Structure 1
Amino acid sequence: MRIPRIGYAIAFVAMSGAVPATAQNEVVVWVSGEPGQTTVYDKLADRFNAENPDSVINVVVNPSDIFNPALIPALSAGEGPDLFMFGTGPGQPAAIIDGGLVADLTGYFNENGWGDTIPAGVINQTSKDGKLWAIGNEVETTAMFYNKKIFEENGIAVPETWADLEAAVETLKAAGYDTPVGLGAADKWPISHWQSMMFGRYAGPDGINDVLFADGKWTDEPFVQASARLQEMSDNGWFGPSPVAIGYAELLDSFWAGEMPMTYTGPWIISGGLNITGDGAADFGVFQMPPFEEGQTLHPTESIGSGWYIRAGSDHKDVAVAFLNSMFFDTEGRAILLSDGVVPVGPLDDALAQADVPRLTADLGQSADTYRSNGTVPAFLDTITPGNLTTASYDGLQALLLGVMTPEEFTQSLEDAWQTAKAEGTIMAPGGLGAN
């Protein structure tokens, strides 16, 4: 489950023992988790080892409480893993990149055509100084989950325009649903899902990147407009009579119980929802939010939880890259990831056709794929911006919903926090790759 400022759970795997280690072509892979757990990366390592008898992928587990403290000393001593997962948020990878501890992957990116799969927005989060340093991992997107049965009972079709959605909300309110769209705003961070999506819709990928990596400002007009629209929705009762009174857990209980028709959230709710609803899961669906303004382009959201890095001093970089290719750029490997609940970067259609996933998961992936060519925007700005901006966002979003802060005041509070972070050097370094 996605929670604020912690990001996403790193996949937990155990030692792959299918093939004995061979020093000549052994790639040691470090991941964080509990010893004894066997999950998707063991399966992928076993598959790779069987297809490449001259190479061995050894997946080694490190308990989560010692993974980070042990990693940099091991890399510095030249005794660390050949391949490992690590964070991509602001500040986290600076020590390993600036310290020359990880390999520049730009040549492999060009040679293997990774750009055909990895979206530009993810590249921006895994690159620095015009070079690629990691392959994004654990992708999550957000969309509107809804109760099909409630929609059908009230004659509501899936909204395709803002007017459609407005009409749906009014119909639901008239039918007695006092909270047409569950928000969970008592916990603050769920509102930021709306903020990220709406900022992206109004500003587009270029507008977001202009702030994150250039001279754009959070007070620019698109962000003010997005904030005003969110406040308008709250004023009109979309999120209930007391929008900040309900927490996220209570929201989900009400949603799966059929008491709230819609909620904007992500895939982490699906597994729990299926357990709760059982055969009733067929009553639920998912759709992309329609454009908020006439002519607005629909940009699906996409954020990563971590990245895969290769140790700079590894003697087996080519084998490590071959393993990355088999996991993230091969349809069968991508299908294995999906079947185990790990979403790889980029288009999912081919892998979804082979994967064994819940229908809601497939629908969510396909809804994002439909608009992916428009360009994606971050699903979780709070994971790629510094902590002081996250605090300003969380507090300000509640104030915005309650009407005690104007859109202009809200965006100014973000810009003030952003300028402080820029002065302190705690924002992400500019991303993107240099000319090939």
Structure 2
Amino acid sequence: MKRRTFVQAGLGLVTMSLMGGTAFSQEKKPISWWYETAAPENQEFLRTLVVAPFNEAHPDEQLTIDFRGSELDKQLRVAMLSGSGPDVVYTAGPSYVASMAQAGQLLPLDEFAASLGWNERILPVFIELGKYNGKLYALPKTYETLGLFFNKTLFDANGWAAPKTIAELETLADAMKAKNIVPFGAGNADWRPANEHYVSLVLNSVAGPDNLYKALKGEIPWTSEPFVAAIDTLNKWWQNGYFGPNYFSLTGEQAFAQVATGQAGMAPTGTWNFTNVPRYFPQNNAEPGFVGFPSAEGVDYPIYALGIGSTFSIAATSKNPEGAAEVIDYVFSDKFYGDMNTVWQGEWNTPLKDLSKVQVGAEVLPLYTETMKGLADAVNANQYGYTTWTFLPPATDTYIVSGIEEIWLGKLTTADFLAKLDETFKQEQSEGKVPAIPERV
């Protein structure tokens, strides 16, 4: 779920709706889907590539998409509690799915997965991630990773190379500061949980995915030394000014745009920002670059932290679960993958097992296809890291977002932050709220 950056389109909190075909007919079975904010051009892509063709292929049904903006998560929680939510439940990730499944708000998808061939069509790790207590409740809309975008044109002009180690990253950031260039193009004005992108980066690239796996399984506490080193490293970057002076006033998109203009040198962020590359880099005559985030000593490079930006489920109260399943099935088709990724990169990397039949347009940036292939290879080889919004339970994840700000602003120590994190995680673990953690090979 644009995890996570909601595209700003001047829509505010206004709910908008897309309906394909002719006026709504009471004779047709309605299928409702609530979506987050989308820019006008992306709303059009959803209309022409999802709504219209689905309704044409299913004349007895009527799919509608309502845009709920940045309030989607809140509105969805309230609606699900009252049983008035949409048929297609679009969540911010597995941590939300676990709590909804536990509350009986979601329909098990195992029968649909078997009858529609999802088990054969989707990468196995994502089938496992969608399970709760052995039953399948969700499929990911997209899988993503974190890394380092940079302005290759700026790098070439200054003789800089993309860093592979934390030491190289810090040396480069200091060199950028000396030239009045903000090292990290970053901002959370539109999406406060952007904070956890950076926490996820250091947990994987400093503490390492093996330690993360142990903590997620409850085998070591979150107060362990590797996590202390990770949070201390992130705080050092903040105190050194790597995030610049306007982090709290810039949106994620505005911050990313500064990388294209050369005001900032790098953007430690996720692959969802590929959607912003064609908006800003060409007009600034700049070439983009993307690499895995640098690693600390003793941690492999690159580490691709696995993230699920949003998920599809079906409401337990849906009056048309079969129709909702047909919508999800359409999204996981080869044709849809190719069509949507041609026009909207970074948001629709559905986890299809076999991409050999998928065709994308020639205009798609090779950097994007190369990055997605690298991520797919890492997942297939079971060599990946863990993003907080995908693998932590909801209260623990929420605490990371607020707690890291308190560290940055000098209101909390690393030790106190990790102690609270550990306490919250253990409580949710005892309540069965931790998402499924696939075995690490």
TM-score (norm 2): 0.71
Alignment of 1:232-381 (within 5 A): 232-233=236-237, 237=240, 239=242, 247-249=249-251, 251-252=255-256, 254-267=258-271, 269=273, 274-280=278-284, 282-296=286-300, 298-310=302-314, 321-328=325-332, 330-338=333-341, 339-340=343-344, 342-346=347-351, 351=358, 353-354=360-361, 357=364, 361-362=368-369, 364-366=371-373, 368-369=375-376, 371-372=378-379, 373-381=381-389
* Alignment correspondent of 2:402: 394
Q: 1:159 to 1:122 in 2, by over 3 A?
A: farther
* Alignment correspondent of 1:43: 49
Report the residue type matching 1:179 in the other structure. V
| Correspondent of 2:221 among 195, 202, 217 | 217
Q: What secondary structure does 1:333 align onto? A: helix
Structure 1 window deviating more from structure 2 (155-164 vs 376-385): it is 376-385
Does residue 1:106 correspond to 2:114, yes or no? no
Equivalent-residue separation in structure 1 for 2:87 and 2:349 (angstroms): 21
Does residue 1:60 correspond to 2:64, yes or no? yes
Report the residue type matching 1:228 in the other structure. D
Equivalent-residue separation in structure 2 for 1:72 and 1:301 (angstroms): 32
| Correspondent of 2:433 among 414, 428, 434 | 428
Is the contact made by 1:297 and 1:374 (CA closer than 8 Å) also made in structure 2? no
1:32-88 deviation digits (Å, cap 9, x = unpaired): 269x965426533544566x67x744202457489745566567xxxx876443454
* Alignment correspondent of 2:32: 30
Q: 1:61 to 1:147 in 2, by over 3 A?
A: closer
Deviation of 1:276 (Å): 4.5
* Alignment correspondent of 2:154: 150
Aligned residues between the structures: 416
Please, what is the CA RMSD of the aligned residues? Answer: 4.8
Structure of higher CA gyration radius: 1
TM-score (norm 1): 0.72
Report the residue type matching 2:267 in the other structure. T
Deviation of 1:224 (Å): 2.2
Report the residue type matching 1:346 in the other structure. P
Is the contact made by 2:204 and 2:303 (CA closer than 8 Å) also made in structure 1? yes
* Alignment correspondent of 1:414: 421
Equivalent-residue separation in structure 1 for 2:370 and 2:406 (angstroms): 31
Is the contact made by 1:286 and 1:363 (CA closer than 8 Å) also made in structure 2? no
Instruction: Report % sequence identity.
Output: 20
Equivalent-residue separation in structure 1 for 2:387 and 2:437 (angstroms): 18
Report the residue type matching 2:62 in the other structure. N
1:77-111 deviation digits (Å, cap 9, x = unpaired): xxx8764434546466645x356554322344466
Is the contact made by 1:197 and 1:377 (CA closer than 8 Å) also made in structure 2? no
Q: What secondary structure does 1:261 align onto? A: strand
Is the contact made by 2:98 and 2:435 (CA closer than 8 Å) also made in structure 1? no
Instruction: Give 5+ residue unaligned stretches, structure 2.
Output: none
Instruction: Give 5+ residue unaligned stretches, structure 1.
Output: none
Is the contact made by 1:213 and 1:428 (CA closer than 8 Å) also made in structure 2? no
1:170-197 deviation digits (Å, cap 9, x = unpaired): 55455x2453334448997544212112
Structure 1 window deviating more from structure 2 (277-286 vs 311-320): it is 311-320
Deviation of 1:371 (Å): 3.3
